[in-house]
Each structure stands twice: as C-alpha cells, then as structure tokens.
Structure 1
Amino acid sequence: MTITEEGNADASSWRSVVRENDPRTTGTAVTAPREVEQQRLHATLRSTKSAVVIGDAGVGKTQLITRTVEQFHKSIPSIVICSIYVDETDTSLLDLIGAPTDLPRTNAAIIQTHLLEWVAQKTDTNAAAILRIEDAHLLDEASTQTLATLIQADILTCVISMRSAAARHKPWSTLLHNGCAVRLELKPFSRRETEAFLQNELGGPVTADSAWRVWRHTGGNPYHVAELVRDQISHRAFFEIEGVWMWDGNPQPDPQLHDIISDDMERFSPEARSLVETLAFLGPMPTHLLYDLATDQEIAALDRRGLLTVQTQQQADGTREQVTGLMHDLYASAVRTRVSRRRRTEILAYISDEISTIESYPALRSRFVELAVESDFAIEPQLVIMTTRSLLAEYKPRTVIRLASRADSLMPTTENLIKLLTLRAEAWRQVDSPENAKRDLDQVCELIDSMPDSAWPAAAAMVLSHARVEAAVHQYHYDQPEAAIAYLHQRRDWLAGRLDAAEAKPWLDAIDVSILTHSGYAGKHDEVNAASIALLVQGSHPERLVPLACPAVLGLADQGDVLGAVELSRRYVGVAYAHLDQYQWGPAEILAAHSLILYWAGDIEPLVTPHPTVSTDSDPALVDRVSDHLGRALIAVVQGAWSTAATEFHAANARFAHTDMTGMGAYALYGEALAAAASGASANAWALLERADATPRRTMKVVNSELDMLRIDTLCWLRDKSAITAAQTLAQRANEQGFARAELEALHRFVVRSVAAVPGYGPQDTLPQPIADAMERLHELSSVVTGKRPGLLVEHAKAMAAGDTDLASIRERDLARCGLWLAPINEPVDLTRREREIAALAAGGMSSKAIAQRLVVSVRTVDSHLSRVFAKTGVHSREELARVLR
C-alpha cells in the first residue's frame, strides 16, 4: 500500500463501517467516509459492469460492498447476489463452491464451467446474478485467471474486493488498465480525516499534533485508528485541557494484532520471516536493499498480502528514492515484541556486514544505531553522534534523549561527549524542559573550559553549537533575551581571544548572525534590522542566514516596507528549502512570517492558499503541528469567521498550556481573545486578555506591535474606551522606534474610535486637535508604508474624520475584502453570536451562498439568521445593515 495525503475520500459525512470480514479485521464498527464510493459502486452495478474494490485491510471494503449490494437488491429485488468469501491463501474457487475434490485445481476451463453452473443453481431461469467475491487476492493463480477471463468476456457481473498490492499485479492490473472493470480504491484516512475521526470519537476538538501522531502510527487505517484511540482512552493517554484533547501516550499493539502476526509468521518462509523482522526493527529501507535479504518471490508474496508499503523519500544527498517498509508502525511494534535479544543481535550483525552503505541513508542509520545501543552492540561513537544529529533533524527529541542517555557512557573522548550532551540539551529544549537542558549545558561548559589551548581550533564548532542552545534556552524559554545576547557576545569574545584572526573569522561571523537573530526575536528591529536586511539582500553564504530571515523580514515589514518584506520572505523560503541540511525549521518559520506579512499587506488570496507541501506530510522540513491551528485561525480571521478562529486559537492554547517550545503562547491567547470578543463572548474575551497580558511574550516579542494591536482591536470589539489610549500609546512608541506600519495601524484605530466617541460628530464639525494631528501623521505615513491595506486604512480614517458615513462604510467593506474586519462603532444590537457573525459578513458585502460556504452551513440557515437580524435592527437591506453595525 502507499500512504499519501492526496486523493483521499471526502470527510464531509461519516458512516459506521464494519471491519473487513477476514482474520485481520473482525469486531465492532469503525467510522470512515465512503458516500462517494458507494454512489459510484451502485451506478456501476446498475450498468451491469463489474467492479473491483481495492484497499488495505481495515479501510472498509467489505462494509462498502455489503451496504451497496443491500441497497441495490432493494431497488431491484430480482437480482440474485452470489457471495464467496476467501479466507486462506492460494484457495481454489472449486473448494469454495463445493466442487468434487477429485477435480484438478489448476485447469481454468474446469473452474469456469463449475463456477458458472454454481451461479446458475443459485438463480432462477430469468434472474440476473451478481457474483461477489471478498478478498480475491487470496485466490490461487488458476482461479484468479478464470475470474479475470469471465470479467473480460463480460460473462458475469462481478463485484470483487482485494488488497491494493494485488491490484498492481497481473491479471488485475491489465484488466483494470483496459477498462474491463471499474476500479474503486478506498484509501486510508488523510491526516485531516484522522483529526475529524478523533474529534468524533472524543466528543471535542483535538490538537493537530496529536492527530498527526495517531495518523503516523496507524498509517491512517480506519480500523487501527479506532483500536488505538479506544486502547489509549482506556489507558488515560488522551487527556483534556480546557475542552481540547491531546495524546501523549505510547501505543501498544492490541491482542488481536498479535494474533494476526502469529498467524502471519507461521505462514512465512524463514527468509520472509527474517525480512519482516528486519523491517520491523529498522523500518523502511531502500527497496533495492531488500533483495539482499530475501528473494523476489518472497518479497512479492509479502506485497500481495498487503504487508509492505512503498513510498518515495528524500535522501541525504537531495535525491529521491523508493523505500519499502511494513504496513504501519503498530504492526512493526507487534513484530518487535516477538523477537528475542539473540535474534536482535543477529539482525544487527547481518545488517552491519551486508549493508556497507548504511551511512548514505540517515533514517535507516538512525534506527540501526538505536537498536545497536539498546542491544549493547558495539558501534563507532561518531556514528552515534551522527545519528543523534539526524534524529534531531527529524524532530524526534524524545528518541534523542533516550539514545543519548544510553550512549553517554560510550563516548571515549571529551570532544565526543561535548557533542552528544549539546545535542541532548537541544532535545530537552524541544520538549520544553529547559531545566534539563541547562543541566547538560552547564556540564558542557565545564568540559569546554577544561580543554587545553591546543584543542581550540578544532573545538570552535562545539563552542558555537553550545552557545546557540544556551542562548535559545535563555530567550525562548526563560524570556531573558538580554541574557541570551550577552552570552553570545561573551562566547564571541572568548573565541576571538583564543584563535588567530583568520581562524576566528567564520566562527565570529556565525555568532554575529546569531546575535542579530536573537536581537530580532527580542523586538530590537530599530537597533539591528538595517544590518540584518543588508546581510539578507547581499546573500553571501545564504545557508547561514536562514534563521535570521524570519525576524528580519518581520522587522522590515513593521518598519513600513511591507511589500519588500513579502518579496524577501518569498525569496528566502526557497533558500531555506535549498539548505535544509543546515536548518530544518527554516521553511516553516519563514512561511509563518510570510503569511503574517501578507495579512498586513492585505494580500489575502495567497494567504488562504495552502503551501503545496508544508500543509501536508510530504514536506521534508520540520513543522510543529500546532502551526496548523494558528494557520487555520489566521485564515478564519481574514475571512471574518470568528467562531472558527476562536476554536483554532483555543486548540493552540491548549497545546501551549501543555508544552510551548516555540514560545508563541502569548500570540495565540491574544488571537483567541480577539476572536471571542468579535463573536460576542465578552466575558471570555476579558478573561483571555488577562491571561495574555500575564503571559511572557518570549519569541513573539519579534512582533510586539502586532500583539499590542490584537489587544487594541479586542478592546474595540469590547467597546472599551481604553482602546483609544492604548492606540495612542502604541502609536507614540512605534514612532520612537521607527515602526511605521505599526504606527499607521495604531493611529487609524485612534482616529476611528476617537471620532466615534464625539457625540453627534458630523461633516461640519471641526476636528479636535489630537485627531487632526493624527490625521496629518497618517498622511505622512501613507507615502512610507507600502501595501493595499495600509492605503485603505488611511482612506477609511479620512472618511471618518470627514464625517462621511457612507464613504466610511464603503472603505470598511474594502478593508474586509483585504482581511481586516473592524469592530462596529455604533451601540450594540442584541444579537446572538451566530447572528452577529453572519450579519458582519453580510455587511461586508458577501452573498448568502458565500457566507454559507465559509461557515459550513446551509444557505437556508444564513437567510434565516439574516431575517432575524433585519427584524432586530429594523433595517431592510444589507446596505442599511452595514450602517447599523458600524
């Protein structure tokens, strides 16, 4: 089978699906979306054409056929369904239809004659028949060929189920390619479908990273997803924080899976059993290496049974290669529990002798080293360090901690121990355990200080790695940016005093980039951004600059060159992908910055279009899956879907309450407060604002002004008069720091809310001096800050200052189309949260159909809510509604 993200079934509707009627999948019901496939199969049977339903065990083939056949039989009662269930490998159709045992099982003509006679006996003279065969991949060669011939000659209408692997082999591949039968392939759940299934099972939202882990463990197989969830619920591994579910468990195979594997192992030859055990321990391997371990026939037999998965993966040198592994992690885990320690050592010895190119495959090397260390199998210390670094690049910090803790006593030199402890410290940091990270870093510091002067030229890289992790702990976990920057300066001076100028330059340059990066994340754009942008534009050694790109482009946008920041961030996304071996988090960081800058620019079309790879699981870069929630929340904000935004921000906040390695918790809290206020949940919004104000901003100091603007907009939605003072304060601070974009945004809110606060203000009134001064400054900023949204903000402020309510309403709708939905300025109307949301979208110029699509409701529901809104507000059109809601 091949697990991919693309092309999976639509998850818009959910049905109860009975597991496959075979030894692997008998039991209670699971859930899978199969409405489209059922309609297609029904139409195929009506056309009297045969159908082949393809998929792996547990995806719902048997249930789909059963449900469709029952429905078809109800519509045409005269149809006779002749069913055959195959449950043993290499079974003859003659055995299944009760033919005499003395007949030869390899004669296709005899099989065809007796099969047609059997079908005829089941039907009346004039009745039509459909032959249903479950698990046709288990039939012997003669029966398979007979069945294919009957379908090709259109002698019988058949509906057949089989495993995906069997469909890749003749005669089925030829039959389907020629269109003699309709192919219906049932794919495993996608990650989003897995998330929807978990939400349905648990009765509440689930964090995206939990759904991702479940999906990866099960391969998206509906049966195994259901079993894992129910097992982990019984072990209390799913836990709830503020109504959001998370999973922090270590799944174990269920007893039924152990029974399946026992049955499999008894059927396998010794060579095939050895291959399965090897794949269970070492995971997916380059396909060409499998032929060193087993014959073509044995590999093909495992493939036909659906035990192998074939994927294409990117290798260390950037090339893509086909790899083969077992069906999913749970199956492999169950196999591993059956293998003795002696057998593990045999596998290690065999692999180390037979596969001399193991260093060329980082994932394979990682699993080999993990197994070797666990089994006390002797390996080179450098291989352990190389593997630990690769595991960090794969974002497996817990595996790194486990491996490094077992291997630290195996390090023969101080240099090796320093490297291993530094890597473990970074792993502790990635699981949000700064205390443990600091303990390792302190030990590394002592070891570095004890090194002789002669070791310094070779040890500079270790000093740089240690300094980077130490600075990250100070700034991103303890919210001590000054301490982080001071430590980097200290290590810079330390290296400069121990190396000559030529030796020191590349290391000092690298530390300088780190200092600029940490200063940017501390929000010191006014101090360092000129130097940062100069480095990025120059582009010398761009691989060293990838970590700097995110804070630098955000600073550039805040200083007013929003469109320049859009282009520079777009350029460095490509650079980050080209140098993934240097910094695996680069693409995700820069894409997040790029999305926020697009929002500031008012360019929402590319913002709402998912990135072609980072939004799936095929991306080679590292992505913290909490960013799925933040990305979906931002899209909901620009679309004015406040309830959706609140849900996504809330899920992110639940994850951040558990662990927040990225330090983005404050941003998510302010975002949820805004969405809650805009949805009409005032009490919740005030509580969230209080939490957000008390939360250290850590990494998000890089966009301090955006957090302040989120707070101001929340106050505007809450109709709190302190929004005016807060906007004025932010505008003054932004002016002092040279943040033109933030100043323009703050001045706009100051003008709009101040004008609204003047009783009876109209076109003939004179502007109060503070508002007149703000308008003058806005006019100056309009020539400095680039982008569509900044220009519309100035135009809207002008309309408000002129007392032109009609023009102000038009500009508000223009801003809404750019992703900015402003809080109304009139006295609130007593509307429900859903009525308020729909009314705001309607006032923004959206049709009922567009609103229904955005909020995933029916057009009738939208119109019903709008009619109540019109009744409550006393208006009769959407144009009048816009004025009432202003």
Structure 2
Amino acid sequence: MRTRTSAGEPVVPCSEAVPAGERTPLLGRDAACRVVAGALHADPPGNLVFAGPAGAGRTRLAREALSLAGADGRPTRWAAGTRAAAQVPLGALAHLFPAIDTGADTLSLLQQATRAVVGDRAGPRRVLGIDDVHLLDPLSITLLHQLAAGGAVGLVLTVRTGNAVQDPSASLWKDGLATRVEVAALGREDAERLIGHRVDGEVQMRTVERLWRLSGGNPLYLHELVEDGLRTGRLRQVGELWQWAGEVVPSQRLCEIVLAHLGDLDADEWRALQVVGTVGTCSVEQVLELSSPDAVTALERRRVIDDDVSGSGEVRVAHPLYAEVVRSLVPEAMRQRIRRRLAQDQVAGGVGAAVAAGADEHLLDRAAALVDSGTTAGGVALLTAAARRAVVRLDLPLAERLARAAVAEGGGFPAHAALVEAVRWQGQPALAEQLAAAAPPAGSDDDRARLAAARALTLFCGLGDVGRARTVLLEARAAVRDDGARGLLDATEAMLAFLGGYPLRAVRQGTTVLSVPAGPARPLAAAAVAAGLAVTGRTGQALTTVEEGRLALESHPDPAERVYARMALAQAEILALGLSGLFGRLQQRAAELHQQNLATAPEWIGDAISSVHRGWAALASGRPRVASRWLAEALPALQERDPVGMLSTCRAGLAAARALVGDVGAARPLVDGSQPAGAEAIAVFEPLRRMAQAWVASAEGRSSQAGALVLEAAALAARQGQEAVEAVLLHGGLRLGQGPRVVDRLCRRAERLDAPFVADLAAHATAAVADSAEGLDRASSRFEQTGALLFAADAATEAASAYERRGERRAAAAARLRAATLAHECGLTQTPALEALSLPGLTAREREVARLAGAGMRNQAIADRLVVSVRTVESHLSSAYAKLGISSRADLGAVLPAAARRVPDRPRTGGDARTRGRHGVTAGRGGAPSSG
C-alpha cells in the first residue's frame, strides 16, 4: 500500500514489496527510502545511484528498490560487477543479452546490447539494477550512460566510495540523469536495535556504544562483531541484559573482510599501517622513519590513514576497526620494536615541555607506548602527567598502569595521588585507603587537603567508616593553613553531612564555602548545597546552584575532586528535577547525562550511576517498566564495585519498580538481607529505601504493613529535614490507603514550601479524602500535564469510583477510560487504585480506532491507516461507544485523556526490544544484517 506524509509526498516503506517472512524491514534508512519512493514514482521515473563504503548496505537498498519497482508491475533485471568480469567487454552484463555478435565492432556491439536491454518498449519501463558499477569494464559503463540518456530503461546502481575508488556513475548524477543516495553509517540507536534483534533481548548500553564505535556504524562490521561475540561467549546474557565481557578481538573472518576492504598493500604501506595501528597516533616523521613517503601518501589517498582530528599534525588509522585488525595481526616482537623506537623519541624529543604546557594532545598514547616498551627510565614526568589526565578522562585501568609505573620511577606524592584516584574509582576502597595512608608526604596544603578529601569520601561511601572519615578530615584541618585547602575540607564535610542525613547542615556548611568568590572547593560545595536544597524543598535554588557548580568545575583542573564533584552535581540535579515535578525535563536530562557519559568516557562505574539516574527518573515519572530496565542494567556493576555507595539506592528503586509491575518474586530479595557496607552511613536515602519496602509489602497484599512502612519512611524524612521527600512519601501513603492520616501533614508541607509539585500532591490528597470527583479529575489532569502519569492514572481511577457512587455513569466511564489509557502509557495494567475498579474492556483494535477518531480523523482515513474497511472501523467505534457509555464521536473528546488523543506516529521499522525477534534488521550481502 502506498502512503503519503502530511506534506503529500509518497512514502513507501522499502520492505513493503517483500513477501512476509522473507525479509525484515530496513533499519535506519528512512531518508533513503523516501528518496527511492520519490524516484520510482516520479513521472517519468528516475534513476538511482547508491554510494557508500564497503559493508554499508548499498546492495540491499538497490535490491529493495527493484522489489518496489517489481511490485508496481515493472520488469526488473540484476547484474553485478566483478574484477574478473571486467576483463571481458560487457562481461558482467552478458547474462542479460541473447546471443550477440561478439566479433562486431564496438558501435555495433553497443547497439545490439541496447536493443537487448530495452526490448520492444511495450508495457511498463524496465528497471536494471547493477551492483558495484566501479568494477565494470569501460564498454559496460558506456552502455549505462547511453541507457540513462535514452530514458527507455530505469537504472538502479551501486558504487563503492573510499580507497580512492573512481565513480563511473558520477557524470549521471552530476548531469541530473540520476539521484545519488549516500548510504551513511548507522546511528547508535539503530545499532542498538540491530544488536537487540540478533540476541532477541535488551543490550547493555556500554556494549552498544563499544560495538557501534568500533564498527564505525558499518552494518557488516557490526554484524560480524556480534556474531563473533556470540560464538566466543564474550557477548552473553548477564541477568536481564546482554553485555560484552573483556576486550573486543576481531575474529579471523572479520580480519579477512577488513583486509579485503583495505585492498592490496605493498610492504612499505603495510609497515606504515603497522606503526600507526600499534601506537594509535604518531607524527608523520615517525611513520616515515619505518616506511616511506610514497607509502604514507598512498594510504592517505585511499583514506586508510588520515590526519588526526585534534589538528596536531599527526596521523591515525582512519577507521577504528582497521586499527584493531592491524594491531591483532602485528607480531608481538614487531610491536615491541615499534614501541621501543617511538619510546626513545618520547623521552629524548622534548615531550616534557609539551606536557608542562598542556599542549600534548596524545599524551596518553605516548605514555602507554612508553610503558609497553619497558623503557620508562627518565619518563617519570610524562608518566605522572599522563596518569593524572587518564583519571580525568576516566580511563582508569590505564591510569593505574601509568601511575604505578610513575611510582616505580620515583614519582613521589603526585604519582601516588593519581594511583589512589585510579584505584578508588575502580571500586577498591580498601586498597585505595591503604595506598593513601602509605603515600609520601604532600608538598603543599592543597595536596594534603585533596588527599584527605579523597580518603574521607572513600572511607564514608566505600567502606561505611563514618568515624575514620571524620578523623581524617580533623587531622587534615589541623595540618593545613591555606584558606583554599581549608575550603576543600569544609566542602567535603558538607557532602558527608548531606549523605549522612543532615541536609540542612550540608546547606549551611557548603554555603560558607560558596561565599568565597573562587577556589577549588566550589564544585564540591555546590553539589552538597544543591542536593541539600533539593531534598528540603528549595528545588529552584538547587538547580541554580548546580549550574554554578558546573561553571566552577570547568575552570578547575585537578582530577582529585573533579570526578566526584561532577557525579555529585548530576545527582543533585536529578534530585531537584524529580522533587520539583519537572518530569519531562527530568527524563530528558537523565538521558543527556547518560549519553554524555557513554560518549566521553570508557567503561567505568559512571555507566552504572548514570543508569541509576535514568531508572530513578523513569520511576519518579511513573514508568516502572522503563525504570526496571535501567536499574537492572546498573545493579550487576554496582554489586561488583560501588565507590560512591549507590548500590542500596539502586536496589531500592529496582524493588519498587518490580513491585509496581507485580513482579513480587523479583522484588522481595532486593529489600531483604544485609545491606552494603556504606548503606548505613548514607542515611539520606534511607526513607526512599523504606518506601520501596512499603511497595513490596503492598504488592504482596500486606496493606496494613505497607501503610505503616510508608508512614515510618515519611517520619524519618521529616526528622532529617527532607521536607520535599517527606511530601512525596506522604503522597505514597495516600496511594496505600493512608489518606486520612496524611492529608493534613501534606497540606501543611504545601503551605510551607514554595513547590508547585507539593501543592499538586496536597490537592490530590484533599480531593481523595473528600471524595470529590471533580477535584480528582483536576488532579489527574494536572499530573498528566507535569508528566506524572502513574499519579494521573490513580487519580483518574479514584475519580471514576467517585462518579460511580454519585450515579454519574457517563463521567465514570470517561474517568475509567482515562485511567486505563494512562496506565497503558505507564506500561501497567494495575496500580493500587486500579485494582479496586473494573476498567472498560476495550480491545486493542477498539482502543486504536477510538484514539484515531478522538484525534479528529475521519472513518475513511482511519481505514486507510489501519488497512481495514470503513465498515470495520464503524463496527469498532460502535462497540467502543457502548462500552464507554457514550453515543457519538463528539463524546470521544470528553472521555479520552490527552495522551490518548495524540495520533501515534507510524511505527519505526524495527519495533522495540520485545519485537526485535520479528522486526528491525535486514539481511545484507552474505546474510549479514544490513541497514541498506
């Protein structure tokens, strides 16, 4: 079926003409599909050229175009260029011709071939598809140009780009005889869908990021990486998610594919590629010493190596996978020889001055080559500087290697401090404390304060040793005199006060530090103040303070507090957005922070922490299934290492999410048993952990215990001064049947706090206790506007019950439908409120038809969209009217909530994680999944 966009242009899904079951839809090629449909359905139809690198999916897109042409009744033929066939005139196209006189002159041969392809011109215009036209012989190219100029045959061509390949089709699209379609790399989301399809499940985001970046978005490379991971067991299911364990080592098959794409390399070219592949980036002069100028020029011309993006004048391998393949094929003896040769340049070539000036963009590569060469003597300054930078860039295993090498070379306190940070963030708090305690004396007050801050946070968060953490800070305070150093100790104390459940104290102490115009303590102090402001109900001030902290962080070069301060500021921002009721912004910001982490850092514990943020954002917004997915991703990593004490919070959130979706068996173990070492120390999140226990008890049917637990949690939050958190917990008590006991306290909090979200919670509680149907309807609408969909569903359910008690059946039906629709948006079928109400039993098709009709679509348009008859649409509407207690289409606007009246977009090819086994990825050449 041909469809049109709102602008009126034809848009035909590229797999539409393919019989069901034979292929799955294309992935990530929506724009290309629109171009294909436009060209094929133009008058007259146009020619197409698909251009892209090897493995990008050019062939699949060309075959899809031919399939669409065939579905329109146009005869199609296919041919493919090869190096062997190119040795014979018209060799690749020979099967398209009947017996022709091969002894004829060139002109006669072209005329015979043209007649054979064009035919008698009766019927629809033929379409000829030719793969890899860059491999055709000159006579075949001439024939294609004549066919394009004549217009009697449609052409669908593919041409490879890169490796200095000439494009024989260039004159066609330059002269307007064809449309060139660039087949670009897959985006990260499409890569995620491709991997998810293959494993038939959800994939850890870091795994997606690693494979996408390594493959460069090339579908063939990505497919081979996934297949090799499954074959070797490196890509395996851990809990609910698939993830990659260990290094990514290219398989022999993938190496052969990449080498074929690289083409023939002579000895000098291969040697130059070995040098660059071994060390990552290096100067052209260093490559020339081990190869030749002609080799470097040839590799650059073929785009195998290119200039480094930093503008340093150095070169690197052009594709990440090329580097991995080359590195895997270079013998270890050769790698060592290359490293030693380059290491001599590192120590003797004036690298120290560049490091001191901060001008060495490839410091980590140089230092790693130095360590790998085994010749670190004389390179202590380089190693120490590189270790510190590796900490900032969160390449922690490398930071530890470099720091240990620097310590061995006598690096002193700076090297020891970098080693402490590297070990600490790899989740080894006991070892980090041992190394810190054994470090040589610091040379300045700043260094003493930084080490003390790191030790205190490690002892408190990683080991749960509150007393020792405070002692370390007291001892440092007695030893330092510098105001800036004392400010850092004060900021650390403020952060410990917040974590320990004293947010008001954290605000007071941190504000004192922020009163100083500048200083290294400002980012950490801002994080403590912002977090304290958020939980005490001053969320607007909290968000402003977060921004101040980030500005201070940008100008703060030292890695010791930078890593922790960045994470603490993110945590404060997430808390403030959630407690202010800005749920749309909350989810967006959590996703942004998560993507920034994946894009700017290697795998580290920040992956799990940013996943906790996304899970908490989804849970606060009323999407427990989404929350469960993110928290389940974070849990295994935090169980293995937890340098900031987030495990208990993650477990509590996951327990609540699973309880809300009815998965009691999975929820109960998360709130039972012993807590992690730092859980008792980090008391600020204890009220939320008790709330999770209440939801689990409710899911198990123990309502009275659930109510008692939520009231205990609210009381604890009140004792700690967490008034905003207390309000949220009191509202939870309302949802667990404790309305009369919480409404007054909640209203008092709304009067005391300048917080619109708390006012919304109080309005809901007041309406529920008063059994005000109209008030509950208003509360539901308000919650929906802010994005608190689960709250909106519960309020609508309560409104339906109130209307029923008053005998207002139509209003009750509208509220019931609203509740069901909102619960569906949350991914739920039941909530504590929904369990008490019989919801209207619309079928999935009735709900879909009602949604489209409520959005204003006419019956014919609905029938066209759903590919059914108008009579079927009318039948579904009539049934929906009867179930909803309404009599006409005009009533749908009143009974459908805003979320249901939005016309859903057409499903993207690929579907979600639950349908990946049936949709979402195509088979490219050789059976490999392809995007085109």
TM-score range normalised by the length of the shorter chain: 0.7 to 0.9
1:124-143 residue pairs with structure 2 within 5 A?
A: 124-126=119-121, 130=127, 132-135=129-132
Structure 1 range deviating more: 841-850 or 605-614: 841-850
User: Do 1:664 and 1:699's aligned partners in 2 also have CA atoms closer than 8 Å?
Assistant: no
- What letter matches 2:57 in structure 1? G
Query: Deviation string for 1:256-314 (max 9, x for gaps)?
Result: 3444566678833566445423331332579999999999986675466453578856x
Partner of 1:516: 494
- Shift of residue 432, structure 1, vs aligned partner: 1.9
**Which residue is 1:424 aligned to?**
419
The equivalent residue for 1:466 is 451
User: Aligned partners of 2:421 and 2:486: how far apart in 1?
Assistant: 21
Q: Name the amino acid aligned to 1:724.
A: G
Deviates more, 1:221-230 or 1:629-638: 629-638
Q: How many Å separate the matches in 1 of 2:282 and 2:828?
A: 44
Deviating more after overlay: 240-249 vs 120-129: 120-129
- Cα distance in 2 for partners of 1:112, 1:468 equals 85
Q: Secondary structure at the match of 1:335?
A: helix
- Distance in 2 between the 1:300 and 1:149 partners? 36
1:397–1:430 Cα contact (<8 Å) kept = yes
Pair 1:549-2:534 in alignment = no
Supply the distance in 1 between the matched residues of 2:725 and 2:240 (Cα, whole angstroms): 35
CA contact (8 A) 1:426 1:437 kept: yes
Structure 2 counterpart of 1:331, from 309, 322, 328: 322
Question: Which amino acid is the alignment partner of residue 334 of structure 1?
Answer: V
- RMSD of aligned C-alpha atoms? 5.1
Tell me, yes or no, if structure 1 residue 55 matches structure 2 residue 24: no
Return the alpha-carbon distance in structure 2 between the equivalents of residues 280 and 353 of structure 1.
23
Change (3 A) 1:183 1:427: farther
Distance in 2 of aligned mates of 1:628 and 1:163: 40
Distance 1:252 1:620, change over 3 A: closer
Specify the SS of the correspondent of 1:640: coil
For residues 141 and 157 of structure 1, do their structure 2 counterparts lie closer, same or farther at Cα, with a shift above 3 Å needed? same
**1:131–1:284 CA distance, 2 compared to 1 (3 A):** farther
Q: Deviations over 1:630-685 (max 9, x none)?
A: 34434533553332322332222233334434432222222222222222233433
Q: Read off the aligned partner of 1:595 and give its amino acid letter.
A: I
What per-residue deviation string (whole Å, max 9, x for no partner) do you get for residues 512-550 of structure 1? 2223223323333232321213434x4622653223333
SS at structure 1 position matched to 2:362: helix
TM-score where L is the length of structure 1: 0.75
Shift of residue 34 of structure 1?
A: 4.3
Kept in 2, the 8 Å contact 1:584–1:621? The answer is no
Could you tell me whether the CA contact under 8 Å between 1:53 and 1:186 is conserved in 2?
yes
| 2:845 aligned partner | 860
**1:249-328, aligned counterparts within 5 Å?**
249-259=246-256, 267-268=264-265, 272-283=269-280, 301-302=298-299, 305=302, 307-308=304-305, 325-328=316-319
Residues 77, 129 of structure 2: 8 Å contact kept: no
Cα deviations by residue, 1:78-122 (Å, 9 ceiling, x for unpaired) = 34444324589xx889586699xxxxxxxxxx9999778655554
Q: Which amino acid aligns with 2:629?
A: T
User: Is residue 388 of structure 1 aligned with residue 370 of structure 2?
Assistant: no
Give the Cα separation in 2 of the matches to 1:723 and 1:576: 43
Q: The residue matched to 2:588 in structure 1 has which SS?
A: coil
- In structure 2, the residue matched to 1:200 is 197
Alignment partner, residue 651 of structure 1: 633
Report the alpha carbon displacement of residue 806 of structure 1 after superposing the two structures with TM.
4.5
Alignment counterpart, residue 36 of structure 2, candidates 41, 52, 66: 41
CA distance in 1, matches of 2:348, 2:503: 55
1:858 is displaced (CA, Å) by: 11
Say which SS state the counterpart of residue 267 (structure 1) adopts: coil
Q: Which moved more, 1:588-597 or 1:791-800?
A: 588-597
Kept in 1, the 8 Å contact 2:664–2:696? The answer is no
Residue in structure 2 matched with residue 478 of structure 1 by the alignment = 463
Structure 2 residue 765 is matched with structure 1 residue 797? yes
Partner of 1:786 in structure 2? 754
Give SS of 1:540's match.
Answer: coil
In the alignment, which residue of structure 1 is the partner of 2:719? 736
Q: SS at 1:249's partner residue?
A: coil
Structure 1 residues 260 and 595 mapped into 2: Cα distance closer, same or farther (>3 Å)?
A: same
Structure 2 residue 709 is matched with structure 1 residue 726 = yes
Residue aligning to 2:856: none
Residue aligning to 1:242: 239
Q: How do 1:707-786 and structure 2 match up within 5 A?
A: 707-713=689-695, 715=697, 720-750=703-733, 753=736, 771=741, 775-786=743-754
- Say whether the 8 Å CA contact 1:558–1:739 is kept in structure 2: yes
> Shift of residue 845 of structure 1?
3.8
Q: Which residue of 1 aligns with 2:663?
A: 681
Cα deviation code 1:294-336 (max 9, x no counterpart):
99986675466453578856xxxxxx88986424444212212
Q: What are structure 2's unaligned runs of at least 5 residues?
A: 1-10, 95-104, 801-811, 830-841, 852-875, 887-891, 898-932
SS in 1 for 2:80: strand
Name the CA distance, whole Å, in 2 between partners of 1:524 and 1:486. Answer: 18
Contact 1:82 1:130 in 2 (8 A): no
Deviations 1:419-453 (A, max 9, x none): 33332332222222334434433432xx33xxxxx
Contact kept, 8 Å, 1:551 with 1:702, in 2: the verdict is: no
Query: Alignment partner of 2:461: what SS?
Result: helix
Q: Give the secondary-structure state (helix, strand or coil) at the position aligned to 1:608.
A: helix
1:604 equivalent among 583, 595, 599:
583
Q: Distance in 2 between matches of 1:541 and 1:437?
A: 29
Distance in structure 2 (CA, Å) of the matches to 1:580 and 1:153:
66
**Deviation of 1:383 (Å):** 0.3
Pair 1:755–1:121, CA change in 2 (3 A): closer
The change in CA–CA distance for 1:406 and 1:842 in structure 2 (over 3 A counts) is farther
- SS of corresponding position for 1:184: strand
TM-fit CA distance, 1:366 = 0.8
Provide closer, same or farther for how the CA distance between residues 469 and 232 of structure 1 changes in structure 2, counting only shifts above 3 A. farther
CA distance in 2, matches of 1:429, 1:174: 60
Q: How far, CA to CA, are the matches of 1:548 and 1:739 in structure 2?
A: 19
| Compared CA separation, residues 775 and 231, structure 1 to 2 (3 A) | closer
Q: Tell whether the 8 Å contact from 1:669 to 1:692 is kept in structure 2 after alignment.
A: no
Q: CA, structure 1 residues 442+589, in 2 after alignment: closer, same or farther (shift >3 Å)?
A: closer
Matched residue SS, 1:198? helix
- 1:488 maps to 473
Residue 94 of structure 1 contacts residue 111 of structure 1 at CA under 8 Å; is this kept in 2?
no
CA contact (8 A) 1:280 1:335 kept: yes
Q: How does 1:85-96 map to 2 (within 5 A)?
A: 85=82
Q: 1:432 to 1:272 in 2, by over 3 A?
A: same
* One-letter identity of the residue aligned with 2:578: Y
Deviation at 1:123, TM superposition (A): 4.7
Task: Write the distance in 1 (CA, Å) between the matches of 2:140 and 2:217.
Answer: 32
- How far 1:250 moved relative to its partner? 1.2
Helix, strand or coil: the match of 1:160? strand
Distance in 2, Cα, partners of 1:98 & 1:203: 40
Cα displacement (A) at 1:706 = 3.8
Structure-2 change in CA distance of 1:118 and 1:519 (3 Å): farther
- Against the structure 1 CA distance between its residues 260 and 644, is the aligned structure 2 distance closer, same or farther, given a 3 Å change threshold? closer
**Contact 1:755-1:801 within 8 A present in 2 as well:** no
2:221 maps to what in 1? Answer: 224
SS of the residue 1:782 aligns to: helix
Contact kept in structure 1, 2:491 and 2:509, CA below 8 Å: no
Task: Specify whether residues 240 and 435 from structure 1 end up closer, same or farther in structure 2 by C-alpha distance, changes over 3 A only.
Answer: farther
CA distance in structure 2 between the partners assigned to 1:288 and 1:154 by the alignment: 53
**What fraction of aligned residue pairs are identical, expressed as a percent?**
18
1:364 aligned partner, one-letter code = H
How far the C-alpha of 1:162 sits from its partner, in A, is: 3.7
Secondary structure of 1:518's partner? helix
Flag structure 1 segments of 5+ consecutive residues without an equivalent: 1-9, 18-27, 100-109, 314-319, 449-455, 757-766, 830-838
TM-score, normalised with respect to structure 2 = 0.72
Could you tell me how far apart the structure 2 residues matched to 1:595 and 1:72 are? 52
Aligned to 2:373: 375
